[in-house]
């Protein structure tokens, strides 16, 4: 966004107000599709200001969501508004300086995935968060999708998850790399499936065997991996941008029970050898909403972040945890069979 001040000096003040005052940096399509409507629907959050270099876009989102403050300079916005939390929603290669400045100004911070271009950048962001004693969150909303979160709980009622599959398929035949090559597919987008696999299996990564391919392309567009976790669970990752359609699916297996599902399209629970499902999973029924941002997980990851700010505890998808998902991406590239 606009140039940041050389020496920002805003001290963090813990709030006892019921509503968390949020300042938004970024008014692009992803922010407007997921974060603005989610925060609007969260009673304990109030968007007080927005900053974006595109004045027309900023004015449009401010009007749509009744946001009073509008700023071309995000540092000025933070200094004047003194928000409880700041959202930075933009491509990862624009993220680091802005995120670092926000944390140095003492603000709790929520950003899009991935948190950075490289794992080392994300690790340094986590260090900055510790030094400045701020709470952080990354939008890994798949693990918050009602079907995935609910499906895991159903399985765990019969015992621990012993194996899981996380798949992400897209039809990008003839397509180029992300952001003209600034980011690879696995770190930039398919990391959703990587993070979901970590969530489903639990524990820490112990070993990885993978196959990464450039299929009729000059960039890696197929990533397949077998991952062993310290929890005892084994995970299978299948991401492929050369398939027939877009699909994000999971399998969650426990003793005598399995969930097969898509967080957007629904799923089934099978148990005790029965051919017919013992339970059907509908994301709209499970979320009690027909709104995609609620049914697919964006609302829940935002609500979790706001609740953590109120309680003063680190969110589940904080920068330290996000580094682990990025480290698994690195391991998939480094451990090809």
pLDDT at residue 16, rounded to an integer:
52
pLDDT at residue 52, rounded to an integer:
96
Kindly report the backbone phi and psi dihedral angles of residue 26, in degrees, each rounded to the nearest multiple of 5, phi listed first: 115, 130
What's the rounded mean pLDDT across residues 99-109? 98
pLDDT at residue 263, rounded to an integer:
97
Model confidence at 9: pLDDT above 80: no
Residue 5 carries which DSSP code? P
pLDDT at residue 11, rounded to an integer:
41
Model confidence at 93: pLDDT above 50: yes
Q: Report the C-alpha gap between 107 and 102 in whole angstroms.
A: 6
Confidence at 6, pLDDT banded by 50, 70, 90:
very low
The structure's pTM equals 0.93
Confidence at 17, pLDDT banded by 50, 70, 90:
low
pLDDT at residue 247, rounded to an integer:
98
pLDDT at residue 257, rounded to an integer:
98
Residue 64: count of CB within 10 angstroms of its CB: 13
Alpha carbon distances (Å) from 123 to 1, 75, 325: 23, 23, 11
Mean pLDDT estimate for the chain: 95
Does residue 110 contact residue 98 with C-beta atoms inside 8 Å? no
Alpha-carbon Rg for the chain, nearest whole angstrom, is: 20
Alpha carbon distances (Å) from 335 to 134, 207, 211, 225, 331: 34, 9, 8, 9, 6
**Half-sphere exposure (Cβ direction) of 29: Cα atoms closer than 13 Å:** 1
* Token couple for 259: 């969930």
Among left, alpha and beta (phi > 0; psi -120 to 50; other), residue 82 is: left
| 15-24, 168-177, 243-252: least confidently modelled range | 15-24
Does residue 86 contact residue 108 with C-beta atoms inside 8 Å? yes
Reported as a single tens digit per residue, the pLDDT across 270-303 is 999 999 999 999 999 999 999 999 999 999 999 9
Model confidence at 116: pLDDT above 90: yes
Q: Report the C-alpha gap between 273 and 256 in whole angstroms.
A: 7
Reported as a single tens digit per residue, the pLDDT across 26-84 is 999 999 999 999 999 999 999 999 999 999 999 999 999 999 999 999 999 999 999 99
The 3 state secondary structure assigned to 153-185 is HHHHCCCCCCEEEEEEEEECCCCCCEHHHCECH
Question: What domains are defined for the chain?
Answer: 20-140 (3.40.50.720), 142-288+319-334 (3.30.360.10)
Does residue 203 contact residue 233 with C-beta atoms inside 8 Å? yes
Q: Report the C-alpha gap between 136 and 113 in whole angstroms.
A: 12
Place of tokens 């330290």: 320
Model confidence at 15: pLDDT above 80: no
Residue 92 carries which DSSP code? G
Model confidence at 3: pLDDT above 80: no
What's the rounded mean pLDDT across residues 298-322? 98
Confidence at 18, pLDDT banded by 50, 70, 90:
confident
What's the rounded mean pLDDT across residues 197-212? 98
């Amino acid at each position: 966004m606009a140039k940041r001040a050389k020496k920002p000096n805003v001290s963090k003040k813990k709030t006892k107000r019921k509503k968390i005052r949020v300042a938004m940096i970024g008014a692009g399509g992803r922010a407007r599709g997921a974060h603005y409507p989610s925060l609007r629907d969260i009673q304990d959050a109030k968007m007080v200001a927005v900053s974006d270099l595109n004045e027309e876009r900023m004015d449009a989102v401010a009007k749509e969501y009744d946001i009073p403050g509008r700023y071309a300079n995000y540092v000025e916005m933070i200094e004047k508004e003194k928000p409880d939390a700041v959202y930075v929603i933009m491509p990862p290669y624009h993220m680091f300086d802005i995120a670092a400045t926000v944390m140095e100004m003492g603000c709790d911070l929520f950003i899009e995935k991935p948190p950075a271009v490289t794992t080392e950048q994300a690790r340094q962001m986590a260090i900055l968060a510790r030094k400045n004693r701020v709470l952080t969150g990354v939008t890994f909303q798949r693990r918050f999708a009602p079907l995935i979160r609910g499906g895991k709980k159903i399985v765990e009622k019969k015992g621990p998850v012993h194996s899981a599959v996380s798949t992400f398929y897209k039809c990008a035949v003839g397509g180029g790399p992300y952001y003209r090559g600034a980011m690879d597919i696995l770190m930039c987008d398919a990391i959703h499936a990587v993070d979901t696999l970590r969530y489903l299996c639990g524990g820490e990564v112990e070993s990885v065997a993978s196959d990464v391919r450039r299929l009729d392309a000059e960039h890696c567009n197929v990533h397949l991996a077998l991952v062993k976790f310290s929890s005892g669970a084994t995970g299978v990752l299948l991401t492929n941008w050369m398939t027939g359609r877009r699909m994000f699916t999971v399998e969650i297996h426990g003793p005598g029970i399995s969930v097969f599902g898509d967080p957007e399209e629904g799923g089934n629970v099978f148990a005790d050898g029965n051919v017919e499902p013992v339970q059907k999973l509908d994301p709209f029924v499970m979320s009690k909403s027909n709104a995609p941002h609620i049914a697919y997980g964006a609302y829940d990851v935002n609500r979790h972040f706001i609740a953590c700010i109120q309680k003063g505890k680190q969110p589940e998808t904080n920068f330290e945890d996000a580094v682990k998902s990025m480290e698994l991406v690195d391991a998939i590239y480094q451990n090809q069979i």
